[in-house]
Amino acid sequence: MIDAFQREINYLRISITDRCNLRCVYCMPKEGVSNLGHNDILRYEEILRIVRIAVQKGITKVRVTGGEPLVRSGVVEFLSALGDVDGLSDISLTTNGIILEKLAEPLYEAGIRRINISLDSLIPDKYRAITRGGDVHKVLRGIEKSRQAGFSPIKINVVVIKGFNDGEIEGFASLARDNPYQVRFIEYMPIGENMDNNDFQHLSNDTIRSEVARRCSLIPREDAQAGNGGPARIFRIDGGLGEVGFISAMSHQFCSSCNRLRLTADGRLRACLLSDESEIDMKTSLRTGCTDSHLKELIERVITMKPRGHQDYHQKGARKKCVRTMSSIGG
C-alpha cells in the first residue's frame, strides 16, 4: 500500500485495551481513561480478521500495545494466534513490564521474540511518582525474566522529561552499556489533554545524545535493521553490551517515512497518531456482517486519509487537536 505521499504502509500497531495498571502522569489522568465496556472493544477474533485482511493489503509487521496489553485476559493465546497469520514477518509487543515476570516465558512460548518495555526511572520513588504508584522492582524483574526467556531484542523505552528524569540519562546509558538491551530515549509529545500543558517539557534528543556521548563512545548503526524502518537512530556503545537509540518525534519529525497504521481498542483504524480526523470505524462494519472486500475498502480509505505530517498538531494552541490520549490510541 502506497499512500498519497509515496510512503509504503506496512506496519500496524494494535491497541488491544485502553485499560492500564499504571497511570503515567504524561499519558493518563489519575482516574484513568477507560469508559469502554467489554462490548465496546474489539474481540480478539475481530482483530485477527482485520489483521488477515491488512496483510493481504501489504501489512507485514504488527506491534501489540495498549493501554497495557498484558492486563487483557487471553493475551497470550491471542499473540499465539497472531503468529499463525500467514504473511506477517514481525510481531512485537510494548508493555510497561509490571506483570511481565510471570508472563515472559508464556509470551516467548507463544512465539513473541521482540519486546519493548517502558521504564522512565530507575529510582523507586521517582518511578512511583511518574507512574502514580508503580513498583520499579517488578519491571526490573520482568526485564530480567525476559532476558532469561530468550527475548531479543529487548528494548527499553524512556520518555525523557525535563526536570524529572533528565538526571538519569547517565544511569540509563550505563544500563545499556552493561546489558544486552537497547535503551531508547523518546521525546515527550504533548498529546491528548496534555497538549497545552507546560508541566512536561521535552528535552531534545540532540541534548540527550550529547550527554550520553560525554560518557560513552557511540558507534552509529547504519544497517536497515538498526532502525527497523522506524524512526529511531541507533548507536552501539563501544566496549559495551547494548545500544542506545533516540526517537525524536518532536525535534526531528519522521512523518516523511512513516509506514504506520493504528488500530484502536474500540475498533477504529487510524492513519496518523496525532490526527483525530484520520480514523475510520471498523467495528460497526465488522458487527453488521460486512464482507472482507468491504474491510479492504475501509483500509484503502484510511490510507487516503493519512496526512503528510503532524506539524499542524504540535504548536501550542494549534488549530488541529488530538483529543485522544496515547493510551487510548495505542502508543
Whose grid coordinates read 524512526?
231
Site string for ligand SF4, 258-277 (x = CB under 6 A): --------------------
Contact with ligand SAM (CB under 6 A): which of 10, 17, 95, 205? Answer: 95
DSSP class of residue 59?
-
CB of 65 or CB of 174, closer to ligand SF4: 65
| Of 38-46, 63-71, 143-151, 284-292: span binding ligand SAM (CB under 6 A) | 63-71
The C-alpha cell that represents 225 in the structure block: 535493521
Site string for ligand SF4, 59-98 (x = CB under 6 A): -------xxx---------------------------x--
Establish if 3 lies at the interface with ligand SF4 (CB under 6 A).
no
Q: Are 212 and 273 in contact (CB under 8 A)?
A: no
* Least gap, CB of 52 to ligand SF4 (angstroms): 27
Binder to ligand SF4 among 146, 248, 259, 327 (CB under 6 A)? 327
**DSSP letter string over 152-212?**
SSEEEEEEEBTTTTGGGHHHHHHHHHHSSEEEEEEE----GGGTT--SS-B--HHHHHHHH
Query: Closest by alpha carbon to 30, among 233, 327, 247?
Result: 327
Nearer to ligand SF4, 66 or 307 (CB): 66
The answer to whether residues 152 and 107 touch, using CB atoms and an 8 Å cutoff, is no
d(CA 215, CA 230): 26
DSSP state of 39: G
Question: Which residues lie near ligand SAM (CB under 6 A)?
Answer: 20, 26-27, 65-66, 68, 94-96, 118, 157, 159, 186, 188-189, 191, 326-327, 331
Question: Which residues lie near ligand SF4 (CB under 6 A)?
Answer: 20, 22-24, 27-28, 66-68, 96, 118, 327
